[in-house]
Amino acid sequence: MTHIGLGADGVAKPHSSGIQVIIVGLGLAGLTAAIECHRKGHTVIGLEKAAQPTHLGDILSIGRNGSVVIHKWDNGSVAKSLDSIRCDIDLITVYDEAGEVKDQKEMDGYRPGEGWVINRSDTVRALYDYGRRLGIDLRFGLPVTEYWEDEQQAGVIAAGERITADCVIASDGIHSNARPIISGAHAILRKTGSAIYRCGYPSEVLRGCAEAEWLLRNTENHDQLNHFIGKDITMLMGTGRHGKDVYWGCMHKSFHDDVSEPWLQPSDVTNALKYIEHWPAKDKLAAIIEKTPQGKCFDHLVMAADPLTRWVSEKGRMILIGDAAHPFLPTTGQGANQAIEDGAVVAICLELAGKQRIPLGLRVMQKLRYDRVSLIQDGGLKMLASLQKANWKAESKEDVPTMVARPFWIFSHDCERDTYQEFGKAANAVLNETEYTATNIPSDGLFRIIDEEGQKGTAGGDSKM
């Protein structure tokens, strides 16, 4: 479908909409918003406090609901660049703490042409490189210290410079400085009782280590992804780029105040080993953990968040997206996907609202996205509770522990198509202060762990690709 002002490929001429956008925070949400806003003809200034585009950590997953956006960029060239650095995983193998295989899951939704399990920093770099090729004004090393808006415009102060635009999109992460200013919420994060070690390093570190050979075996054909699940402890171990990279993570029960909330604080791997010292499968895992290079391991609390009352500022010219609006638990596997969906949807809402109705566009964006992300947030808590119990003998399949949930309604969603179809209805709901029924979640409003992609989903109006 071709929309007003867009060419047959869905891309507008640069700067043709007349809308000026400031984006604060250039992670996945911010970079996606910058690219999509540019593609819709908006003029973008992107600001990031970090000195360069990078993202410390291990791997992330982008399923079909996120990749459908990226596959449209530059005739598929960006997707191909991500294909070249993907973790080529065929199966996920799930074990208990004794090392007994409990389940195997095919990588539906993440196969070549569908999505990616991929290094975080590499993904951010690929999006940044594309944004620069498009000529988007992306500025690094510029922390934002103030936000402001009036009836006609909004802006920020960064490094002492006052920058003005039609609206501000804040995507500055889980510990957002913009959140209390825009939403009025000062503290939405709470401890879940779990923390997580995360790290990644080159597999050459394991060269000559016989105890680690199992993880690298046959990776010239496919990478590995293994989940070991025991009570209060979940261990992930895998490889990337056909065995060139090694990743591991350990989610463990923790109420300690000495664990970092941000994940940028290095930790000692010997602490992680203590959590599995009673596991029969300990020796199989310890060799990979012990070989972790200094400074490559991070331990941080797993924080949950209640949905915000609103993502849009009082005057309607500033909005939160990504983790700034709705932090996700790692159990959902949807943090990156929902960040991408946010970036694409906000760009379209601005396009359809037009320069004279910026506040309407941003409020419609929240209306279209709010129920979907809130339900996925709740699903993450449900999965975390199941993992903490690790009851392999549970009578209900919903209670059997898993880190692999692919609800059909999540993965089958095309956020761009849905936004063009639903914008008018959502706009009427905003203007008339009436209820809007979301079509991008199940009609009964429930998150089901076992409602996997490939099965018939329970989604409302969004069950087709």
CATH code, 213: 3.30.9.30
Q: Confirm whether 266 is domain-assigned.
A: yes
Q: Show the domain range for 74.
A: 18-87+112-186+305-430
CA 238 from chain centre, in angstroms, equals 19
Q: Flag whether 99 is in a domain.
A: no
The predicted pLDDT at position 2 comes to 43
Q: Is the domain of 179 the same as that of 34?
A: yes
pLDDT at residue number 3: 56
Count how many residues are written for the chain.
465
| Residue 153 and residue 30 share a domain | yes
pLDDT classification of 56: cutoffs 50, 70, 90: low
Residue 422 has pLDDT above 70, yes or no: yes
Residue 7 has what pLDDT? Answer: 61
Q: What is the number of domains present in the chain? A: 2
Q: What is the pLDDT of residue 400?
A: 80
Report yes or no on 237 lying in a domain.
yes
Do 377 and 418 lie in one domain? The reply is yes
Q: State the helix-helix crossing angle for 28-39 and 335-353, rounded to 10 degrees.
A: 30
Name which of 50-59, 128-137, 419-428 the model is least confident about.
50-59
Assign 132 a pLDDT band (cuts: 50, 70, 90): very high
Look at residues 24, 85, 91 and name the one whose alpha carbon lies nearest to residue 60: 85
Are 76 and 166 found together in one domain?
A: yes
Taking alpha carbons only, the member of 99, 368, 38 closest to residue 227 is 99
Specify the CATH number for the domain of residue 157: 3.50.50.60
Orientation of helix 335-353 relative to helix 415-432, angle to 10°: 60
With CA atoms as reference, report the closest residue to 150 among 165, 131, 130, 135. Answer: 165
Q: Is residue 147 part of a domain?
A: yes
Q: Does residue 249 sit in the same domain as residue 340?
A: no
Rounded to an integer, what distance in angstroms lies between the CA atom of residue 413 and that of residue 107? 17
1 pLDDT band, cuts 50/70/90, is: very low
Q: Of the candidates 390, 393, 408, which has an alpha carbon nearest to the alpha carbon of residue 456? A: 408
- Which range among 158-167, 216-225, 361-370, 377-386 shows the weakest confidence by mean pLDDT? 377-386
Burial zone of 152 (CB within 10 Å; 0-12 exposed, 13-18 middle, 19+ buried): exposed
Residue 413 structure tokens: 């969603």
The answer on 174 and 145 residing in a single domain is: yes
Check whether residue 169 and residue 314 sit in a common domain: yes
Angle at 19 between CA 310 and CA 138, to 5 degrees: 85
pLDDT tens per residue across span 32-44: 999 999 999 999 9
Together in a domain, 382 and 366 = yes
pLDDT tens, 189-236?
788 888 899 889 999 999 999 999 999 999 999 999 999 999 889 999
Q: Is 398 found in the same domain as 267?
A: no
Confidence of residue 244 (pLDDT cuts 50, 70, 90): very high
Q: Is residue 153 assigned to a domain?
A: yes
Task: Identify which has the larger pLDDT, 260 or 160.
Answer: 160
The phi, psi pair for 232, rounded to 5°, reads 70, -5
Q: What is the pTM of this model?
A: 0.92
Q: Are residues 266 and 201 in the same domain?
A: yes
Query: Does residue 8 belong to any structural domain of this protein?
Result: no
Same-domain pairing of 328 and 275: no
Q: Which residues are catalytic?
A: 198
